[in-house]
Amino acid sequence: MVMLKILDGSTDISNAYVGILTAQAQDGDIKGALNIAKKMKDYELKSETLTYIAQAQAQGGDIAGAKKTFQEALDSADNINDAFYKCARLIRIADYQEKCGDSKVALHTLEKALFVSEIIEDEFLKNLLLRNIVMATALLGYYDTAYDNAYTIDDDQFRSEALRSIEKIKQEKEVK
């Protein structure tokens, strides 16, 4: 009974369950974690869990498996109805894709997030996520794209923060 509630996302225990499956994957039981994660009905939690499992796969050296699981996380994210949560999830997936050394795929994921952000009605949330997309794009080293995206931000403060972040990231990468 409890398992069913967790799998359908109807309880707050679901967030704890993400942590349990992540720990399970990090301890080496990727197959078991994947089998349970794929049964989750809450697409946001499922996508989040699959993202963490993919990261564990990459850290364990299974890059091909990680790429497949990241794709499953993206597929799950595509089913998230709320544009804000979908966009935020895509940004997180891109972050982990980059950490696993897949910058071009991460950029593509950020492009999807940018597209989704266009339908977010709340201007504050939209500009917040646009700023995060810009910063993530700059971290990937795609500065021209980051600048282009920064100028799509309507809010002066968020746009200014994004532009300053690009410069800061560029300076930090030049030092390394």
Q: What is the pLDDT of residue 7?
A: 46
Which percentage of the chain shows pLDDT scores above 70? 90
Distances (CA, A) of 162 to 6, 117, 136, 153: 38, 16, 10, 9
| Domains of the chain and any CATH numbers | 1-80 (1.25.40), 81-176 (1.25.40)
C-alpha–C-alpha distance, residues 70 and 47, integer Å: 9
Q: pLDDT grade, residue 15 (50/70/90)? A: low
Encoding tokens for residue 150? 């920064």
Q: pLDDT grade, residue 2 (50/70/90)? A: very low
pLDDT tens digits for 107-117? Answer: 999 999 999 99
Encoding tokens for residue 103? 């910058």
C-alpha–C-alpha distance, residues 77 and 166, integer Å: 27
Work out the burial of residue 3: count CB atoms within 10 Å of its CB; fewer than 13 is exposed, 13-18 middle, 19 or more buried: exposed
Q: What is the pLDDT of residue 3?
A: 39
